[in-house]
Structure 1
Amino acid sequence: MNQYCIVIPNYNHTHAIADVLSELAELSLPIIMIDDGSDADAKQIFSSLQQRYPFLRLLTHSENQGKGGAVQTGLRYAFANGFSHAIQVDADGQHSLNDISKLIAASESAPENVVSGCPIYDSSVPKHRYLSRYITHFWVWVETLSFDIVDSMCGFRVYPLQYTERLMNKRALGTRMDFDIEILVRLYWQGARVTFIPTHVIYPEDGVSHFRALHDNLGISWLHTRLFFGMLVRMPRLLWRKVAG
């Protein structure tokens, strides 16, 4: 029987996390939240939330490792504690948490698949962020020689932990904003299929973004360079997968 939990990376996101946890409480799923080196005020809030919600397990990084590093800590902890699947959710209230039931239903139908949200944006999305996603989409289509990955940047997804753990054990993955892209491409290379579920995504007016325009864009560009050459090595296998369906 599949066992699901929720993994939330959190670096100083305090404005929406209480509401996020309150809404998630209705699902009656264990939640693993990773404090990724947050400041003292945030830690105090997280501690009070842990006391309020018995289903919340708080893991702590002594120093900030980045979103990808925090998610990987949560995924490893989930796997080590017997969960079969982990649902990645952001701490800032962007995601439509009502759609988690749809993600789980799709995962139950195909337990070996990664299940990802496919964002539907409203007018709150910053235009530069919206356009930059399509640059990444293009490169991911090149790197997989397919259009199977509709969106590689949405951090609202279900990971089958057996295959995710296998990948993390044999390959060091990005620890910053490049993580969501890299793990999806490499899981695809490993043979995983990806199911996409349309979901609404908002950018709250009082939201705080930790996306570093220069550093993270450079990191993502370097990631695509590595993945492109990784695709060349795997080209025969990817082409055969495409032909075989």
Structure 2
Amino acid sequence: MNIPHRKGALTVTISGILVFMLGGVVAAGAAPSTGGSQTALVTAQETTATASATPTETNPAQTTCSAVDESQTYNGETFICTEGDDAQLVWLSEADSHKIVEAREAKAKAAAAKIAADKAAAQKAAAKAAADKLAAEKAAAKAAADKLAAEKAAAREAAARKAAEKAAADQAAAAQAAADRVAQQAAAEQEAQQAAVPAAPAPAFVYYKNCTAARAAGAAPVYAGSPGYASHLDRDGDGIGCE
């Protein structure tokens, strides 16, 4: 009858025997008494013998069960109620049950290890991304600081150059002003001297007939523009007569 539990199967078997016995008794009582006493006795003995017989156990292998890890014994072999890969509870031999349980535990352990490895890899990747971001931020901050420092240095150089140009311009202006003052002072002194010295009388007209006369008068050599100079005294025309 494929009854999974041994106790249930035994109960059903005994109940069937009792019903069978009760039916035999009723049939014997209803049959004619003539010549039937011996037959009834034999029937009663057979029924009694059948009722006292031990029912045959059913092999539970691969039959369904109701509670995980429940166990029973059949022909000296232990069967354990085990959840299969299809999530159904069936009776399996102890060895097969252990294999399935160990395989399931190994699979669960491998899955847990993979999850842990994936989590560790994700955490490592996140840590690397954070480190890269921090390094990029530091690099950007350093670049900005270097740029600011370069701009400040350029501004200082420009200011120094402008100050030097201004100083040079001021020095040149001061030198020019000093030169102008000296020139003005010299011009003033010259004007004062010219005003203080009386004008020299215009020289009289001097004529030398020849260089001998000029030498005799002590005027040789005679320069162009000086009294007594004449072209007949300066034969080479270099502006100096009677050389």
Q: Tell me the TM-score normalised to structure 2 length.
A: 0.18
In terms of fraction of residues, the more strand-rich structure is 1
In terms of fraction of residues, the more helix-rich structure is 2
Q: Considering only CA atoms, is the larger Rg found in Structure 1 or Structure 2?
A: 2
Q: Tell me the TM-score normalised to structure 1 length.
A: 0.18
